[in-house]
Amino acid sequence: MNKLSKFINALAVLSMIFGITACGEDKTQQKTASSNVLRVGVVPGPYRGMIDKHIRPILKDKGYEIEFVEFTDYVQPDAALDSGEIELNLMQHKKYIDGMIENQHLKIIDVVNVPTLGLGIFSEKYKKLEELPEGAQIGIPADAINLARSLGIAESLGLIKLKSSENENKASIADITDNPKKLVFIPMEAAQISRSLDSIAAGFVPGNYAYAANLDYSKALGVENVSEPIKNVIAVRATQKDGLGKVLHDAVTSEQFVKSIEGDKEFDSFTRPAWWPKK
């Protein structure tokens, strides 16, 4: 075989190798693009269990698989959703996501709300609000939405008075106009409040963190009345509103999900959404 023939044969072999490799890459890319694995952002609390036990089976019947991604605060799951690191999350209420969209300019949207465990006021030292001493230190969530929410609950319970505002979501400690017991409100990371009850008089703990810390709601100093805007929502990217968003909306509002939740005592104390079928 002359040198020219050997060179032509070598080129043919290389062409076949690269052709196979490229073909493999195309198949890999095609597989990734058509993947039905949904990465779900969650924080400590009951909503991972809600998805795992009551939503996963419905989605599986529709051809989807679930992969959980754990976060330790409220900010990261929305940033991850906006950037495409996850496909959906369930860890925040309507007011909170609206604030994130407005303040962080995130292109995400809520598609449906779910049964929600309200924020509670807990203490390891006192059994009643009336027992709180003058100057007591009270932990409240540091994020603006839940801080305002906690102050609103404190006002409804008669602990303080706030100046009137057109936007109750923006209430701050500076808006307190009357504080008979001179309570000292200490903004803290929401996840840290339940762990700090041994060093503060009481703390406003969002439902998911109260649940994760096994706090007993029957012993809470107070529990909020969970209104519709503060019921937790499933969120997706705005571009997925009519695609994945509709799939999730239909799954959650289905008779299968409702019956599954109603049959699980773990969720008996959760406030149902307004869309929930009347008994």
Q: Positive or negative CA dihedral for 240, 32, 40, 82?
A: negative
Domain range annotation of the chain:
35-116+229-267, 120-225
CATH architecture of 120-225: 3-Layer(aba) Sandwich (3.40)
What is the Cα 16 distance to its own chain's centre?
A: 50
Q: How far apart are the first and last CA of the chain?
A: 87
Domain 35-116+229-267: CATH superfamily is Periplasmic binding protein-like II (3.40.190.10)
Single-letter amino acid code for the residue at 255? E
DSSP annotation of 2: -
How many Cβ atoms sit within 10 Å of the Cβ of residue 11? 10
pLDDT for res 30: 33
pLDDT for res 145: 85
pLDDT for res 34: 41
How many Cβ atoms sit within 10 Å of the Cβ of residue 92? 29
User: Mind listing the pLDDT tens digit of every residue in the chain (279 residues)?
Assistant: 554 444 445 444 444 444 433 343 333 333 333 479 999 999 999 999 999 999 999 999 999 999 999 998 889 999 999 999 999 999 999 999 999 999 999 999 999 999 999 999 999 999 999 999 999 999 999 998 899 999 999 999 999 999 987 666 789 999 999 999 999 999 999 999 999 999 999 999 999 899 989 999 989 999 988 999 999 999 999 999 999 999 999 999 999 999 999 999 999 889 999 999 997
Torsion of CA 257, 262, 263, 269, to 10 degrees: 130
Single-letter amino acid code for the residue at 32? T
> What phi and psi, each to the nearest 5 degrees, are found at residue 256?
-65, -45
Compute the distance between CA of residue 133 and CA of residue 126 in angstroms, rounded to an integer. 10
Compute the distance between CA of residue 206 and CA of residue 50 in angstroms, rounded to an integer. 17
Domains 35-116+229-267 and 120-225 share a fold: yes
